[in-house]
A = this chain, B = another copy of it.
Amino acid sequence: MSITTPAGFTAAALTAGIKPSGNPDMALVVNNGPEFHAAAVFTRNRVVASPVKISREAIKDGQIRAVLFNAGNANACNGIQGDADAQASVDQVAELLGISASDVGVCSTGLIGEPLPMDKIHAGVEKLVPGLGDHGGAAAVAIMTTDLVPKETLVKGNGWTLGGMGKGVGMMSPSLATMLVCLTTDASATPAMLDEALRAASKVTFDTLDIDGSTSTNDTVFLLASGASGVTPSQEELNAAVLEASEDIARQMQADAEGVTKRVTVTVEGTGSDEQAVNAARTLARDNLFKCAMFGSDPNWGRVLAAVGMADADMNPDRISVYFNGQAVCENTTGTPHAREVDLSGADIDVLVNLGTNGPGRATVRTTDLSHDYVHINSAYSS
C-alpha cells in the first residue's frame, strides 16, 4: 500500500545528505500515464516558499507528470536565489525525464531561511531518475522530518485504486511543521473532477487538523491521476475515495504529532453556518488553557465556555451546552451536577459544544493537548 500501488506510478528515494541525520531526504514521484491529470491545494500563508510558487504555476493547466520532494530544507525565505534554485531542480527533473518543466511540481520541507544545497540536490536528481520503480514506501520515508513513522494509505475503488503518502503537521519541530501529501490514483478523471474531490476532502480533513494554529509556508497536497486502470469513476466515487484517503493520512498525522498525549476531537453545532462552526471549533482547539486542561485530563468546561465566547460565530450565550466524551458537563451555560467527575484519562477525548441557536452549522476540528513535551521539543530544536 503506497503511492506506487496504483498503476502508472513509479517512485524513487535516496539519501542526498541534506538532513544532518543522514536519513533519506529526497524522493521523486512520476506519473507514467496514459493521462497526467492533477489537482493540488497549497498553504493559505501569504509568506510562501519557492517550491510552492513553482508548483502553483505548474498545476494551473491541470497536468503534472512528476513531483520532486526534499526534506531537511524548506527553501523558504531565500529570496530570488530560492526561486532560482527550485526552478533549477525542476528543470533538471524535466530534462532527465524528457518532459516539460511546466509539468513538474516540487515540495520542500525543513528549515526556513537556509539556502538549498544545490550540489546535493543536483546529484540527488541525477540518481533518482534511473532509480524509479515500485518504491512508494521508500518515498514516504524520505519526506519525513520529525515524524516518528511514515504515513501511507490505500483506498480501493471499483477497478481502480488510490494511494497516498504524507508527512508532518504542526506540533513538530519549529520550522519543520510543513504538511506534505501526495495522493495517486489510476482512475481516469478530468482535472476538474480531481480538483472538486481534493478541495472537498481537504476542507474537512487537512484544513481542520489544527495542532497549534500554525500554518507552514510550504504546505502542499497533490492528487495525481494516471488513468492507467481504464476506469472512470463517478464524481461521487472519486470524492469518497479521496476523502477516505485524506482522513486516513490526517488521522495518522494527528496521532504522530510530537509531544502529544491526547487526541482531541472538537465538534461545534447549533450555530449559523458550517463556517461559523469551524471558527468556533478552531478557537477552542487553539486555546492554550483548554489544551493544558486536556493534558491534565481535567474536565474544565469553564475554559471551553471562555474560549468559544470569543469566537466569530452565532451563539446564545445563555444556552450553551458542553459534552465531554458524550456526557453533559454544562447545559444552558450552567454546570451539571458531577460535571467535574467526568473521566478524561484516556488518550482520546471527544468534545461537543452546542452554541444554543437553531442554526444548521456543524463542524469538527481535530487537535491535541498542550504537553510538557510540546514545549520541550519546540524550544530545544535549534539549540
Residues of B within 8 A of A371 (CB): 375
Residues of B within 8 A of A111 (CB): 302
- Cα distance A309–B46 in the bound complex, in angstroms: 5
Asked whether, in the complex, the Cβ of B370 is within 8 Å of the Cβ of A296, the reply is: no
Interface of A (DSSP majority class): loop
Which of A54-62, A225-233, A235-243, A282-290 is the contact stretch? A282-290
Interface contact B375-A320, CB-CB below 8 Å: no
Q: Which of B302, B317, B379, B383 contacts A175 (CB 8 A)?
A: B302
Answer yes or no: A251 CB below 8 A from chain B CBs: no
Q: Within 8 Å of chain B (Cβ to Cβ): is A201?
A: no
A287 and B212 CA atoms in complex are apart in Å by 8
By the criterion CB–CB under 8 Å, are A302 and B76 in contact?
Answer: yes
List of B residues within 8 angstroms of A76 by Cβ: 302, 305
0/1 string, A192-217, CB within 8 A of B gives 1: 00000000000000000000111111
Cβ contact within 8 Å between B77 and A296: no
Q: Are B289 and A170 in contact (CB under 8 A)?
A: yes
A382 beta carbon closer than 8 Å to chain B: yes
Known interface pairs A77-B302, A302-B174, A302-B175; A288-B217 also in contact (CB < 8 Å): no
In the complex this chain forms, how many copies of it are found?
2
- Residue of chain B at shortest CB distance from A301: B113
CB neighbors of B among A270-310 (8 A): 286-289, 292-293, 295-298, 300-303, 305-310
Q: Is the CB of B305 within 8 A of A47?
A: yes
| B310-A48 in contact (CB<8A) | no
Q: How far is the CA of A191 from the CA of B216 in the complex (A)?
A: 48
In the complex, A219 Cα to B372 Cα: how many Å?
A: 28
Query: Does A340 make an interface contact (CB < 8 A)?
Result: yes
14 residue pairs bridging A and B, Cβ less than 8 Å apart = A45-B309, A46-B309, A48-B309, A48-B317, A112-B302, A113-B330, A174-B298, A212-B287, A212-B288, A214-B288, A288-B370, A295-B379, A297-B383, A370-B379
Assess the A289–B334 pair: CB atoms within 8 A. no
Contacts of A382 in B (CB 8 A): 293, 296, 298, 300, 340
Q: Distance (Å) between the CB of A171 and the closest chain B CB?
A: 8
Chain B hits for A334, CB < 8 A: 77-79, 82, 113
| Contact B339–A212 (Cβ < 8 Å) | no
Q: Does A332 contact B (CB under 8 A)?
A: yes
